[in-house]
Amino acid sequence: MKKLRIHVQGRVQGVGFRYTTKMLADQLGVTGSVKNEADGSVSIEAMGDEKIIDAFVAGVKDSPSPAGKVNQIDIQPDDTIKERTSFDVVYY
């Protein structure tokens, strides 16, 4: 299982980015979470089979939200991410 911590910057808040990211994750079978950060960015924890995670990352890079725009994405493998059984939108 591949586990990634993804930090996304751009027009990613107020455009449905978290919800469309959840829809993408649910379609692909990715588990994890997505949340807004105070600095206007979005953080994602994602886990799943390597090919599925690669497809998820490609979808995030293209912005799953039609109104969103990803300017920068930082992807770090992180085996310490807690395993989940679903993909959740995290609220403050």
**pLDDT for 92 beyond 80:** no
Indicate the number of domains in the chain: 1
**pLDDT for 89 beyond 80:** yes
Task: Look up residue 5 and give its amino acid.
Answer: R
Q: Is residue 29 part of a domain?
A: yes
CATH, residue 31: 3.30.70.100
Containing domain of residue 6, as a range? 2-80
Which residues have a catalytic role annotated?
18, 36
Sign of the Cα torsion 58, 62, 68, 74 reads: positive
Model confidence pLDDT, tens digit, residues 8-35: 999 999 999 999 999 999 999 999 999 9
Model confidence pLDDT, tens digit, residues 56-68: 999 999 999 999 9
**CA–CA separation, 53 vs 92, rounded Å?**
26
What is the pLDDT, as a whole number, of residue 91? Answer: 87
Under the banding of pLDDT at 50, 70 and 90, the label for residue 54 is very high
